[in-house]
Amino acid sequence: MKTYRDFISKLEKKIYSPLYFFWGEESFYIDKITEYIENNVLAESEKDFNFTVFYGKDSSPEEIINVCRRFPMMSNYQIVIIKEAQQLKQIEKLGIYFENPLKSTILVINYKGKVDKRKKFFKDINKQFVVLESPEVKGEKVNTWISGYLAEKGFSITQKATSMLVEFLGNSLSKIANELDKLIILITDTKTITEDHIEENIGISKNFNIFELLNAVGQRNQYKSFFIANHFSQNPKDHPFVMTISFLTQYFSKILVYHSIKGKVDRNTLASKMGVNPYFLKDYDVPARIYPVSKLMENISLLREYDMKSKGVNSIETDQGELLKELVFRLMN
């Protein structure tokens, strides 16, 4: 499968295709390659007559095809970009143009979301287009991506700072890259981004975040756990109950995996099965000693129960802040 670097390498050598199809749930690479084509294929003086952007919601296949069939003016190429193509009605009608595309037209289709690969339209695209699939990046791969992104710019980041970013921003590479780019500009005294930099410049608390809660619950530190849970309950927009439930469920599930295969496999395999960086394995030693398998199973059931309670199922109390504090108590007792 072609990578972002493969695309940029060919474009830098001015090797162009008449048809590009970029699709997937992660928009970062879709936007970056499209931006490169926008900014580098045509000179500014050529763009007035040879550069057209359509938006799926406001366009029709017929008008797109008409533009694609035009010849460039005073240029070797014209560029036609369809953004948000997933909103283009009757997109399959574009197939008429794909049968005989102009070599002087560079058509770029940005389709942000999943495609049904069983449909003839998308099968034909796979045969005729230069295709980039940009799937959603999940779990530990987001942390790895952050490290790689910063390394290319001569920076590094601490593990805790990475965790704070992912908790606050989720797994959207575009959002993460935007915040990292800001930090690179703001930080002038070091090449290592720390949790202090995150707290000072992005506004994420290094003391009141999901990973501090997991650590406190994992060590059965009741005072700290209730302190953080109370903060979460007072700031529900910053700490949605559904996300807290999800992180806690993943956490106890990982401890369960740790219990079941520790000592049977090497550290790297253990970390891979748990879906964590080997660096973090030490953080599971104490929780695994504190929580026996029976309590882990009970906690995972509790988390499902409270997820349903938050939605009003079998519960009078639906205040998510109160539910969280009650849940945290029951997880440790």
Q: What is the CATH number of the domain that holds 247?
A: 1.20.272.10
The yes-or-no verdict on residue 321 having pLDDT over 90 is no
**In this structure, are residues 239 and 331 in contact, taking their beta carbons and an 8 Å threshold?**
no
Query: 3-class SS at 76?
Result: coil
Q: What is the CATH number of the domain that holds 149?
A: 1.10.8.60
* pLDDT bracket for residue 271 (50, 70, 90): confident
Same domain, 16 and 101: yes
Mean pLDDT (whole number) for 156-185:
87
Same domain, 168 and 114: no
Q: Which residues contact 266 (CB under 8 A, 6 or more apart)?
A: none
Same domain, 234 and 304: yes
Q: Which pair of tokens denotes residue 101?
A: 């595309």
The yes-or-no verdict on residue 318 having pLDDT over 70 is no
Q: Lowest-pLDDT range, 131-140, 181-190, 198-207?
A: 198-207
Same domain, 78 and 17: yes
* Tens-place pLDDT, residues 28-71: 999 999 999 999 999 999 999 999 999 999 999 999 999 999 99
The yes-or-no verdict on residue 76 having pLDDT over 70 is yes
Same domain, 258 and 162: no
pLDDT of residue 203: 67
pLDDT of residue 313: 75
User: Of the ranges 77-86, 246-255, 311-320, which is most confident?
Assistant: 77-86
pLDDT mean across residues, the chain: 89
CA distances from 133 to 10, 35, 87, 193 (A): 17, 17, 18, 31
pLDDT of residue 61: 95
pLDDT of residue 248: 93
The yes-or-no verdict on residue 317 having pLDDT over 70 is no
Same domain, 49 and 109: yes
Phi then psi dihedrals of residue 313, to 5 deg:
-90, 120
pLDDT of residue 316: 63
**In this structure, are residues 258 and 283 in contact, taking their beta carbons and an 8 Å threshold?**
no
Number of domains in the chain: 3
* Percent of the chain surpassing pLDDT 70: 97
Amino acid at 299: N
pLDDT of residue 208: 77
Q: Which pair of tokens denotes residue 127?
A: 């045969």
* Percent of the chain surpassing pLDDT 90: 53
* pLDDT bracket for residue 157 (50, 70, 90): very high
Mean pLDDT (whole number) for 168-192:
89
**Residue 39 is part of which domain span?**
4-133
* Tens-place pLDDT, residues 206-238: 677 888 899 899 999 998 999 899 888 888 887
Same domain, 169 and 274: no
Same domain, 278 and 198: no
Same domain, 86 and 167: no
Same domain, 111 and 194: no
Same domain, 24 and 57: yes
Same domain, 185 and 91: no
Q: Which pair of tokens denotes residue 262?
A: 């520790």
pLDDT of residue 67: 96
pTM: 0.68
The yes-or-no verdict on residue 168 having pLDDT over 90 is no
